[in-house]
Amino acid sequence: MTTIAVHGGARNAVSDSLTMIGRSIRLSRRNVDTLIMSIVLPLLMMSLFVYVFGGAIDTGTQYINYVVPGIILLCTGYGAASTAMSVADDMTSSMIDRLRSLPIRSSAVLTGHVAASVVRNLLSTTIVIGAAIAMGFRPNATVTDWMLAAGLLLLYVLALSWLAAGLGVIAKSVESASTLSFLMLFLPYLSSAFVPTHTMPSFLHAVSENQPITPVIETVRSLLTGTSIGNTGWIALAWCAGLLTGSFILAAWLFRRRTNG
């Protein structure tokens, strides 16, 4: 009998997570739907907003300079739906029993999905920015601005991915996971992503000003176009950090509750 190091230590925890991350990335690379979602959707959304709606929306600047952060966050929302669905797929398959009967911290399963989600978002965000530049987007940002914007987006993507993972855990099926993630797709429309919020009726204006997406978008937009941020940056950071902490704890708790019968 081979002896196996069963209990943990930090090295095993890291190696388990890396193995599960490798698995999730392989699975999403091979899942045609997810791949199309990550590659084609950003291109479609960019074209739709820039060429179809953009001409009719007055933002006081070039619309393409206005809309890029919004498209990035919209794609993150769609990506989150994929994440919720792939987590639900695992939770409802017999694979989860096999993984849970191994001497690993079984939440590594979720870590794998979240990391794959970050990689998919990196891909779609790169595509959005590339397409935007091809369509005439001219960012005016220093290296520091780019890094700050990337850091904030990473926090937002992590927060949304853990939230999606939590939704995937409680979903009874892959279909219901997709339904539960609907709100994450919808929120960007109720923000300053595509139109300035002052054009909305006052109650919607209040909603859009007090949800996480508006400050994140405003901050990224200011960083990329080189305009002043004011305190929006801190509000965005607070939202993202709070959301990330909350959704991480929630997802881990839901996972334990679902898997400890």
Partner 1 sequence: MIVEATGLHKAFGSTKVLEGVDLHVAEGTVFALLGPNGAGKTTTIRILTTLLRPDLGSVRVAGHDVVREATKVRGVISLTGQSVAVDDQQTGWENLVMIGRLMHLGRPAARRRATDLLERFDLVDAMNRRVKTYSGGMRRRLDLAMSLVSQPKVIFLDEPTTGLDPSSRTTMWDAIKDLVSSGTTIVLTTQYLEEADRLADRIVLINGGKVAASGTTDELKSQVGGDRLDLRFAAETDVAHAAALFDAPRGTDPLVLGIPSDGSAEHLHRVLDDLRIAGVPVVKVSSHRPTLDDVFLSLTTTDRTPARV
Site for partner 1 in 26-55 (CB under 8 A): 26-27, 30-31
Residue 210 near partner 1 by CB under 8 A: no
Q: What is the secondary structure of the chain as a DSSP string?
A: ------S-HHHHHHHHHHHHHHHHHHHHHH-HHHHHHHHHHHHHHHHIIIIIIGGG---SS-HHHHHHHHHHHHHHHHHHHHHHHHHHHHHTSTHHHHHHTSSS-TTHHHHHHHHHHHHHHHHHHHHHHHHHHHTT------HHHHHHHHHHHHHHHHHHHHHHHHHHHH-SSHHHHHHHTHHHHHGGGGTTTTS-GGGS-HHHHHHHHTSTHHHHHHHHHHHHHT---TTHHHHHHHHHHHHHHHHHHHHHHHHHHHH--
CB of 75 to partner 1, least distance (A): 23
Angle at 72 between CA 70 and CA 78, to 5 degrees: 105
Interface stretch with partner 1, choices 170-178, 193-201, 229-237, 253-261 (CB under 8 A): 253-261
Residue 10 near partner 1 by CB under 8 A: no
Pick the binder of partner 1 from 94, 144, 228, 231 (CB under 8 A).
Answer: 94
CB of 216 to partner 1, least distance (A): 33
Interface stretch with partner 1, choices 15-23, 38-46, 164-172, 188-196 (CB under 8 A): 15-23
Pick the binder of partner 1 from 103, 196, 226, 230 (CB under 8 A).
Answer: 103
Interface stretch with partner 1, choices 88-96, 115-123, 124-132, 219-227 (CB under 8 A): 88-96
Collect all residues with Cβ–Cβ distance below 8 Å to 253 and sequence separation of at least 6.
none
Pick the binder of partner 1 from 52, 56, 101, 144 (CB under 8 A).
Answer: 101
Residue 173 near partner 1 by CB under 8 A: no
CB of 64 to partner 1, least distance (A): 37
- Total number of residues binding partner 1 (CB under 8 A)? 32
Q: What is the secondary structure of 108-144 as a DSSP string?
A: HHHHHHHHHHHHHHHHHHHHHHHHHHHTT------HH
Residue 257: phi, psi to the nearest 5?
-65, -40
Pick the binder of partner 1 from 50, 73, 80, 104 (CB under 8 A).
Answer: 104
Residue 198 near partner 1 by CB under 8 A: no
CB of 113 to partner 1, least distance (A): 13
CB of 5 to partner 1, least distance (A): 5
Residue 7 near partner 1 by CB under 8 A: yes
Q: Which residues bind partner 1 (CB under 8 A)?
A: 1-2, 4-8, 12, 15-16, 19-20, 22-23, 26-27, 30-31, 93-95, 97-104, 259-261
